[in-house]
Amino acid sequence: MEKKFRVLRIIGTAYKILAWIVLVVGVIFSIGMLLTSILGGGMLSQFGQEYSEIAGVAWAFSVAGGIVAFIVFLVVTVVCFLLLYAIGEYIYLMIAIEENTRLTAQRIGYSPPLPAPQF
């Protein structure tokens, strides 16, 4: 059976590849954001040594904020990955349904009805 809808296959594959790229970049970015907040919080506490009571609190808030941002960005990344991958799979599902329908029509010997004669 001939393969139809070549462009749709390319688009479906492109969505799947884009999904994996989004996942990898999003995980790397969220880890970087976490590390930046932890390391940045350490630097913030060093800058505030003259105000000793503020230094510890600033570090704790920056680490807590970094952890929250890490979790939120990781969840958003996973949701985006799932949506993009699902779009790619949906395109392939529609192509498979079309191929199955065409194969079934060929096997049962279906031919489209002839137009009605006009008088």
pLDDT tens, N- to C-terminus, the chain (119 residues)? 678 899 999 999 999 999 999 999 999 999 998 888 888 765 655 655 565 566 566 667 778 888 898 999 999 999 999 999 999 999 999 999 999 998 888 888 877 777 777 77
pLDDT score of 27: 97
End-to-end Cα spacing for the chain? 39
Structure tokens at 87: 């779009």
Q: Which residues of 19-56 are buried (b: 16+ CB within 10 A; e: fewer)?
A: beebbeebeeebeebbeebeeebeebbeebeeeeeebe
pLDDT score of 65: 83
CB 55 within 8 A of CB 45: yes
Residue in 20, 1, 5 with CA at minimum distance from that of residue 94: 5
pLDDT score of 30: 94
What predicted TM-score, i.e. pTM, was given to this entire model?
0.75
